[in-house]
Amino acid sequence: MAALPAAPGAQGARQEGSKGQVSDAFTEDQIEAARKIFAGPIAFLKSAPKLEHLPNPVVPEVAFAGRSNVGKSSLLNALANRNGLARTSNTPGRTQELNFFDIGEPLKFRLVDMPGYGFAKAPKDLQRQWRYLVNDFLRGRDVLKRALVLIDSRHGIKDVDNEILDMLDTAAVSYRIVLTKTDKIKATDLAEVRARTELEVRKRPAAHPDLIVTSSEKGMGLPELRAAVLEAVG
């Protein structure tokens, strides 16, 4: 793990910020309402390779953003409890378009799985294309209620993440940080990265102050993340 700043302050912030076991507390009713919606009808709607292919903005949307390979598509599948809804891969750069998923029947809201950023091995013009697509969507989509910005718990917030967080803060796009792949690290390292990330997030005006800590593999944090999505679109 990278060197960490000021551990004592980090600990303080963590205690203050976390009321529940894994994130801020949702009521049982909120958790149950979210569980029900995500257990119901969910369908892939369309892939948009360019902004002119976006679906009509008829319902609220929540988008999954983050570095390539951080686990965006896997987390969407885990939330829906449906493998293969969004395509995942070991190889970074799997998701190359904006993929829209309809939640609820009648349609209640949409989730958007986006291409990742920071995949250095992708051809430069492709990287640029994805960056424009993602940034323009996040900045310009009226019905976007919140972006979920996924951060790999093994690495914490990196420079490429800060670039997108700066953009979201500047454009006043509401977002929330979600730590991923927590099954891959020790509990002590997780506590440390969580505390450090919470401190970093507190300085950011458009960020929700509480993180959600997840593992798609083990199912950790999924009930809370479902509730957080519902809260964002509600």
For Mg ion, the closer CB: 94 or 226? 94
Instruction: Give the integer Cα–Cα distance in Å for 63 and 81.
Output: 18
CA–CA gap between residue 178 and residue 192 (Å, rounded):
15
62 binds, among Mg ion, ligand GTP, none (CB under 5 to 8 A by kind): none
Q: Which of 144, 179, 215, 223: binder of ligand GTP (CB under 6 A)?
A: 215
CB nearer to Mg ion: give 93 or 209: 93
The yes or no reply on residue 95 touching Mg ion (CB under 5 A) is yes
Residue with smaller CB distance to ligand GTP, 63 or 199: 63
| Rama region for 71: left / alpha / beta (φ>0; ψ in -120 to 50; rest) | left
The binder of ligand GTP chosen from 11, 89, 162, 170 (CB under 6 A) = 89
Q: Does position 90 bind ligand GTP by CB under 6 A?
A: yes
Checking DSSP bridges between strand 144-152 and strand 61-66, what pairing results, if any? parallel
Binding to ligand GTP by residue 94, rule CB under 6 A? yes
At position 117, the amino acid (one-letter code) is Y
Q: Does 95 bind ligand GTP (CB under 6 A)?
A: yes
- Separation between Cα atoms, residue 80 and residue 41, nearest integer Å: 9
Measured from the CB atom, the residue of 32 and 129 that comes closer to ligand GTP is: 129
Task: Evaluate whether 115 touches 95 at the Cβ level (below 8 Å).
Answer: yes
Question: Could you give the CA distance from residue 139 to residue 146 in angstroms, rounded to a whole number?
Answer: 11
Radius of gyration (Cα) for the chain, nearest Å?
17
- If binding is defined by CB under 6 A, does position 197 make contact with ligand GTP? no
Query: 18 or 73: whose CB is closer to Mg ion?
Result: 73
User: Angle 8-164-219 (CA atoms, 0-180°, nearest 5)?
Assistant: 65
Could you give the CA distance from residue 124 to residue 31 in angstroms, rounded to a whole number?
42
Least distance (Å) between residue 12 CB and Mg ion? 36
For residue 212, what are the β-bridge partners?
Answer: 178
Q: Is residue 69 involved in binding ligand GTP (CB under 6 A)?
A: yes
Q: Binding string, 171-190, against ligand GTP, x = CB under 6 A?
A: ---------xx-xx------
Minimum distance from residue 73 beta carbon to Mg ion (Å): 3
Residues that bind Mg ion (CB under 5 A): 72-73, 94-95
